[in-house]
Amino acid sequence: MPTQDRTNEFKACVDSIRSRSSIPTRGSEAKQRLLQSNDKASGSKSEFSRMASAIGKDISSTSIKLNKLAQLAKRKTLFDDRPVEISELTFIIKQDIAHINKQIAALQTHRKQHNAQGANKTVEGKQIDEHHN
């Protein structure tokens, strides 16, 4: 028995049923809203994660510099003292800490803006946020 490709007939039948059915499937609108709010939340979450990751890397880098400064400060020989290196490293560490503080402030501002936008959400959006937190 030869096979016959009836894909086009099937697609026409599906289109016909969709056009006759004016009633949306149960909960489809709510599902679409949830999917859209999830996309927005994941974009925001990735931005938050990116910012937090950068802060973590900077803290790690500053910790390494602090350890080196501690090693320099522990040396007790009179002739092996490196005051220039110690002062330069101290200055760099202070700049790094100031930069980290600015990054943390920016992250807090980002989170506050995200929370302010959340105040205008629908019930489904609030439930999603409660689930993520």
Predicted confidence at residue 27, as pLDDT, reads 58
Q: 7-65 pLDDT, tens per residue?
A: 888 888 888 887 777 555 555 666 666 666 655 555 556 788 889 999 999 999 999 99
Predicted confidence at residue 29, as pLDDT, reads 66
Spatial distance between the Cα atoms of 110 and 133, rounded to a whole number of angstroms: 16
User: Can you read off the two tokens belonging to residue 87?
Assistant: 């002062």
Predicted confidence at residue 61, as pLDDT, reads 93
User: Can you read off the two tokens belonging to residue 123?
Assistant: 């019930």
State the average pLDDT over residues 120-128: 59
Predicted confidence at residue 119, as pLDDT, reads 59
CB burial of 13-44 (b: ≥16 within 10 Å; e: otherwise) equals eeeeeeeeeeeeeeeeeeeeebeebeeebeeb
Supply the DSSP symbol for 84: H
Predicted confidence at residue 37, as pLDDT, reads 60
Q: Is a pLDDT exceeding 70 seen at residue 125?
A: no
Residues 6+ apart with CB under 8 A from 125: 33, 34, 37, 118
Q: 68-117 pLDDT, tens per residue?
A: 999 888 877 666 667 888 889 999 999 999 999 999 999 999 888 887 77
Nearest CA-CA partner of 100 in 73, 62, 128, 69? 62
Residues 6+ apart with CB under 8 A from 55: 100, 103, 104, 107
